[in-house]
């Protein structure tokens, strides 16, 4: 049996590449390819002797023995062999990433449809804005919205939005400025819920919506708004009272 060529990277199999690169992206592999290609090119400049493309490396290579230059040329072939396996792995990654993106795009679209139907969250009146704030506090307690904040932290975040700014630039009055924070909350809440049910854990988007709604029901059954949360709602009610009066609420 013929001895395998030393320039063939037979040990770097597709299985090995799959194991090594399961946490890497096609962009990572493309970067490795670039480095390998550059390395092989420089070795060939050194091994092939001087020509117009080899530059100083080629002139240096002229002072190596024929065996040394062959060794460098073999090394370049070995790197090419490794690069071929990386190329195959990258192409496979690209196909996988595209398929994954298509699946996630479909989940995102479905999530938007479901959330829009289940949670329209109107902001037409000051009463709507207050309901929106209460909903955000409840959903956060159920850990389906903005879970990076604890319930206490989220409550204090919206308490701080009641503070009067040093200057009111771009707003008619303080009430309008404050109301803008709750109007922005609608987008944040919808975006958060979309992400929550669109997350691909292997289950259907509809199933994640049902799980979300169950968590909210549990939170409403077992937890009441704290004294601090109730105080936040009271303060917001007072802060928006001028606008509510103007609307005839």
d(CA 195, CA 190): 9
d(CA 98, CA 26): 11
d(CA 63, CA 50): 10
Question: Residue 111: inside a domain, yes or no?
Answer: no
Considering the entire predicted model, what is its pTM?
Answer: 0.75
Query: What is the phi-psi region of residue 173: left when phi exceeds 0, alpha when psi lies from -120 to 50, beta otherwise?
Result: beta
C-beta separation of 216 from 142 below 8 A: yes
d(CA 54, CA 225): 75
Question: Residue 6: inside a domain, yes or no?
Answer: no
Question: Residue 174: inside a domain, yes or no?
Answer: yes
What pLDDT is stored for residue 53 in this prediction? 75
C-beta separation of 107 from 200 below 8 A: yes
Residues 123 and 229 in one domain: yes
Residues 63 and 162 in one domain: no
What's the domain count of the chain? 2
pLDDT reading at 247 higher than 70: no
**Cβ neighbours of 87 (radius 10 Å):** 16
d(CA 110, CA 176): 34
Q: Of 40, 74, 103, at which residue does a domain stop? A: 103
Q: Of 103, 132, 167, at which residue does a domain stop? A: 103
Question: Which residue range is the domain that position 132 belongs to?
Answer: 119-247
Residues 31 and 140 in one domain: no
What pLDDT is stored for residue 1 in this prediction? 52
Residues 126 and 83 in one domain: no
Residues 27 and 141 in one domain: no
Residues 53 and 85 in one domain: yes
Instruction: Render pLDDT for 64-81 as a digit per residue (tens, 0 to 9).
Output: 999 999 999 999 999 999
Instruction: Render pLDDT for 131-145 as a digit per residue (tens, 0 to 9).
Output: 999 999 999 999 999
Residues 186 and 229 in one domain: yes
């Amino acid at each position: 049996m013929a001895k395998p060529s030393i320039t063939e990277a037979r040990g770097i199999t597709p299985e090995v590449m799959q194991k090594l690169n399961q946490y890497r992206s096609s962009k990572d592999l493309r970067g490795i390819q670039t480095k390998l290609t550059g390395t092989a090119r420089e070795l060939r400049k050194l091994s092939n002797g001087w020509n117009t493309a080899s530059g100083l490396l080629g002139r240096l290579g002229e002072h190596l023995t024929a065996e040394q230059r062959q060794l460098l040329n073999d090394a370049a072939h070995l790197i090419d062999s490794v690069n071929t396996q990386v190329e195959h792995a990258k192409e496979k990654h690209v196909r996988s990433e595209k398929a994954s993106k298509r699946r996630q795009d479909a989940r995102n679209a479905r999530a938007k449809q479901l959330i829009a139907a289940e949670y329209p969250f109107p902001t037409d009146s000051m009463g709507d804005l207050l309901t929106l704030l209460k909903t955000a506090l409840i959903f956060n307690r159920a850990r389906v919205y903005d879970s990076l904040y604890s319930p206490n932290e989220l409550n204090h975040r919206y308490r701080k939005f009641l503070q009067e700014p040093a200057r009111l630039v771009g707003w008619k009055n303080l009430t309008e400025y404050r109301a803008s924070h709750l109007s922005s909350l609608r987008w944040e809440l919808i975006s958060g819920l979309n992400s929550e049910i669109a997350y691909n854990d292997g289950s259907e988007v509809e199933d994640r919506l049902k799980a979300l709604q169950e968590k909210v029901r549990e939170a409403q059954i077992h937890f009441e708004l704290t004294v601090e949360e109730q105080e936040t709602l009271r303060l917001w009610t007072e802060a928006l009272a001028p606008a509510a009066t103007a609307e005839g609420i």
